[in-house]
Structure 1
Amino acid sequence: MNASDVALVQDSFRKVAPISDVAAELFYGRLFEVAPQVKPMFRGDMREQGRKLMATLGVVVTGLTRLETVLPAASALAKQHVAYGVKAEHYPIVGGALLWTLEKGLGDAWTPELAAAWTAAYGTLSGYMISEAYGTAQAAE
């Protein structure tokens, strides 16, 4: 990820933030559509879960300029997700649902360049989280 990618991701997230409740609803709807097997991992109030998702995304997106500031929290989150039943193979599914959500939420502002920037950002973070939770061998798969 380069500085231009970071700027694109941060700028686009500022456009999504005002519709964060809708974005979270779109995200989980898409996730459960493409991977219904993960739905039992989510218990409780999905609106609250959506707020947590969007808040976490906000912290990560803001921290992209200084990635080392978000990595400790990302490591802890990855390890916590193992207890919920999350496996390394779920990360690409979640990434696909996230990109789909961003495309829907941003409409015409979603460009191939922006898609590539978000893909790079998600790949960087998810690769790190997978290696923290399951070891570096699974992160490479």
Structure 2
Amino acid sequence: MRTASPAAIAIVKATAPAIEKHGVEITTAMYARLLQDLEIAALFDRAAQESGEQPRRLAGAILAYARNIDKLENLGTAVQRMVARHVETGVKAEHYPHVAAALLPAIRDVLGAEIATDDVLNAWGEAYWMLADILIAAEAQAYEAAQAA
């Protein structure tokens, strides 16, 4: 499982105020990119997208992660809910690179290159993959448990 470097963790925590201020704008831009892929778009609840509920939920999750990246135990129940939702909707490991490819450019688009420097995007890339690995492993266990039941 990947981990984020201490430098990346510090950068992610330092960007939490920008995520708090612009999170919904970032996630809305991310979903606009992500949902261009029709296979991936089929995994999402259209009503939650159109109402703005899903971008708001994800923005809140990203902010909580930014604030707690060095205290992941604080995110246990949120991660469990995310895993359950992902399994319910059929999210698989192969979908995660698509999300990264949509999220990281959305951060730069919204925050601008002055704030979302290469170092900031690299830190968020490390942070994303650290969390993605946790989710992928937990989802694999949940899929196995569901098949065994």
- Please state if 1:18 is matched with 2:21: yes
Write the distance in 1 (CA, Å) between the matches of 2:116 and 2:33. 18
TM superposition shift of 1:21:
3.0
The question of whether the paired residues in 2 share the 8 Å contact of 1:9 and 1:117 is answered with yes
Runs of 5+ consecutive residues of structure 2 not aligned to the other structure:
142-149
Q: Any conservation in 2 of the 1:27–1:98 contact (CA below 8 Å)?
A: yes
**Of the candidates 95, 99, 121, which is equivalent to residue 94 of structure 1?**
99
The letter for the 2-side match of 1:116 is N
Question: What CA distance in whole angstroms lies between the structure 2 residues aligned with 1:73 and 1:25?
Answer: 20
Show the counterpart of 2:58: 53
> What are the within-5 Å matches in structure 2 for residues 21-36 of structure 1?
21-33=24-36, 35-36=37-38
Q: Percent identity between the aligned chains?
A: 27
CA distance, structure 1, for counterparts of residue 59 and residue 73 of structure 2:
20
Task: Give TM-score scaled by structure 2 length.
Answer: 0.80
Q: 1:117: how far off?
A: 0.7
**Which secondary structure does the structure 2 equivalent of 1:45 belong to?**
helix
More helix by share: 1
The equivalent of 2:83 in structure 1 is 78
Partner letter of residue 90 of structure 2?
Answer: G
The whole-number CA distance in structure 1 between the counterparts of 2:34 and 2:61 is: 17
Give, as a single letter, the amino acid of the residue that structure 1 aligns with 2:73: E
Q: Offset of 1:72 from its aligned partner?
A: 4.5
Root-mean-square deviation over aligned CA pairs: 1.7
Q: Distance between the aligned counterparts of 1:117 and 1:19, measured in 2? A: 18
Q: Is the 8 A contact 2:19 2:62 kept in 1?
A: no
Shift in CA distance, 96/71, structure 1 to aligned 2, threshold 3 Å = farther
Residue 116 of structure 1: CA displacement?
1.5
Deviation at 1:31, TM superposition (A): 0.5
Q: Which residue of structure 1 aligns with residue 125 of structure 2?
A: 119
More divergent stretch after superposition (10-19 vs 41-50): 10-19
Distance across 2 between alignment mates of 1:71 and 1:61:
14
**Structure 1 unpaired stretches of 5+:** 136-141
Number of residue pairs the alignment of both structures matches: 134
- 2:11–2:123 CA contact under 8 A, matched in 1: yes
Query: Which residue type is aligned with residue 90 of structure 1?
Result: H
Q: Secondary structure at the match of 1:89?
A: helix
3-state DSSP of counterpart to 1:42: coil
Instruction: Give the TM-score of the pair, scaled to structure 1.
Output: 0.84
Q: Which amino acid aligns with 2:131?
A: L
What residue identity is the alignment partner of 2:85?
Q
